[in-house]
Amino acid sequence: MIRSLAVGTGVAAATVAVAHTALAGYVARRLIAPKAPKVYAPITVAGDTVTVPATRESREPGTYGLWLDDGRHVVVGEPLRIDKNRVVRTLASRPDGLEDGDAVATWTSQSIGAPEEVGPTRHVSVPLRRGGVAEAWEVGDRENADGRWTIHVHGLRSSRNGALRSTPASADAGWMSLVVSYAGDEECAPADSLPSTLGTREWRDVDDAISYAVEQGAREIVVVAWSMGGTIAMLALEQSAHRDRVTGLVLVAPALDWTRVVENAVAGARLPRSVAGSSMRILGSSLGARALGLVEAVDARALNWVDGPRPAPQVPTLIVHSLRDPVVPVSGSLAYVKRHPEAELVAFDTTGHCNEANQDATRFHDAISGFLRGLGHG
């Protein structure tokens, strides 16, 4: 009987171990997965309102966007009425030809549909050291900017349109904006649409964008980075040949410690905390990387500028982060500014991840434009 119990316990333990590994693999795969295809749903336009399906995102306060299935962008304002299945919101902009009635669209936090809405725009291609080019937008007046450039870096499972939300503040402060794409985002050729490496591969493309800006006359550069873009910015500044040109950082809900991010995701899913450690071990192993389709293994634990040995850039830094961010815990930003006296945190009380610009647009704009104006002009 004791032998039977021991065998049974061993089988049970093995089953638990297999299940634990499977969960860890699932978390790792979800973490690095490319952006899912956009989900389009029916909407109804009526005068100065639009009715959309009720989701967690569409119930949020603030200003957001809709992408119609024909590629046009619609700006939607505050919710007026929230029912069980539908949300009625104000219609803040109406593209030419959009008539009252039913249409099909997908919800987005991208409240600016095109860079031309911000200022004079050039569509440019940034040469990449890995070959090919990355598409980018130059927004602003080079002559008036006088060598001052901001480089806007979007986050994981986002695109250049998401990073447009920080460009009006740059324009208002008199700086050029370069809004970039990078390896693995939705603008890459299909052959490059690989899982994210959490910045360890992507940073090189952003460094190439820094080089491009310098070649175009940038004398002072501020990197404005969103979410995982914060990781990319930190990695680029560790090794960039032009890091002396980077005179400041603006970080929006930045991922500065991936252990916190993964542990937060696991806790949110009500999984054992040990799953977080196992998922990071899978990401960091060559076998796990192959199974996940990664180009290279990713040491997520090493991506920590908060309380690890990794040095942070010694430049003036503005962090914009909501105290209620459900994806990237604000605890990382709080700890970062406590450790780095050159960093300042402007805390928001908005809901969702990277929604500061959507829900408190004036404060978001003023924080960034004020920071840029405050930098010394060399």
Domain identity same for 235 and 190: yes
286 located within any domain: no
Domain shared by 82 and 206, yes or no: no
Q: Give the residue carrying structure tokens 């890459």.
A: 188
Statement to judge: residues 224 and 338 lie in one domain: yes
313 shares a domain with 198: yes
Q: Which of 108, 135, 157 is the last residue of a domain?
A: 108
CA-derived radius of gyration, the chain: 22
Is residue 16 situated within a structural domain? Answer: no
Residue 187 above 80 pLDDT? Answer: no
Q: Please state the rounded mean pLDDT for residues 160-166.
A: 96
| Residue 5 clears pLDDT 50, i.e. is over it | no
Cα 272 from chain centroid (whole Å):
26
At position 132, the amino acid (one-letter code) is G
End of a domain among 55, 87, 108? 108
Going by pLDDT thresholds of 50, 70 and 90, the confidence category of residue 19 is: low
Query: Same structural domain for residues 78 and 190?
Result: no
For 214-244, how does the pLDDT look when each residue is reduced to its tens digit (9 = 90+)?
Answer: 999 999 999 999 999 999 999 999 999 999 9
Predicted confidence at residue 77, as pLDDT, reads 97
Task: State mean pLDDT over 178-206.
Answer: 82
Give me the domain span that covers residue 247: 115-257+303-374
126 and 210: one domain? yes
- The answer to the question of residue 290 being in a domain is no
Whether pLDDT at 51 is above 80: yes
Please indicate, yes or no, if residue 288 is contained in any of the structural domains: no
| Per-residue pLDDT band at 22 (split at 50, 70, 90) | confident
Task: Tell me the mean pLDDT in the region 168-194.
Answer: 82
How high is the pLDDT of residue 157? 87
Domain match, 218 and 363 both: yes
Write out pLDDT tens, residues 72-83: 999 999 999 999
pLDDT of 122: 97
- Whether 154 shows a pLDDT value over 80: the answer reads yes
Report the distance separating Cα 292 and Cα 277, nearest Å: 16
Q: Which helix (H) or strand (E) holds 124?
A: strand 121-127
32 assigned to some structural domain: no
The reported pLDDT for the residue numbered 189 is 52
Is 94 within the bounds of a domain?
A: yes
Residue 83 lies inside a defined structural domain of this protein: yes
Q: Are residues 252 and 195 in the same domain?
A: yes
Average pLDDT over residues 45-70: 96
Same-domain pairing of 153 and 216 = yes
pLDDT at 15 over 70: no
Phi first, then psi: give them for residue 89, nearest 5 degrees.
-125, 160
The chain-wide mean pLDDT, for the chain, equals: 91
Band (21; pLDDT cuts 50, 70, 90) = confident
**What's the average model confidence in pLDDT over 253-271?**
95
What's residue 27's pLDDT? 84
Instruction: Report the C-alpha gap between 206 and 301 in whole angstroms.
Output: 22
43 or 296: which carries more pLDDT confidence? 43
Is the pLDDT reported for residue 190 higher than 70?
no
Token pair for 68? 């119609």
Q: How many domains does the chain have?
A: 2
> How much is the average pLDDT of 147-164?
95
Question: From CA 228, how far away is CA 226, in angstroms rounded?
Answer: 6
For residue range 133-142, what is the model confidence (pLDDT) as tens digits?
999 999 999 9
Helix (H) or strand (E) holding 332: helix 330-339
Largest CA distance in the chain: 86
Look up the CATH number of the domain holding residue 93.
Answer: 2.40.10
333's enclosing H/E stretch is helix 330-339
Judge whether 170 and 252 are in contact, CB under 8 Å: no
Question: Domain check: are 339 and 321 in the same one?
Answer: yes
Of 86, 91, 60, 52, the closest CA to residue 75 belongs to 91
Task: Verify that 94 and 126 share a domain, yes or no.
Answer: no
What pLDDT shows up at residue 352? 95
Domain boundary among the residues 108, 131, 165 is at: 108
- Where residue 17 falls among pLDDT bands split at 50, 70, 90? low
Let me know whether 199 and 145 are in one domain.
Answer: yes
In a domain, 249, yes or no: yes
CATH code at 325? 3.40.50.1820
Looking at residue 338, what is its pLDDT?
Answer: 96
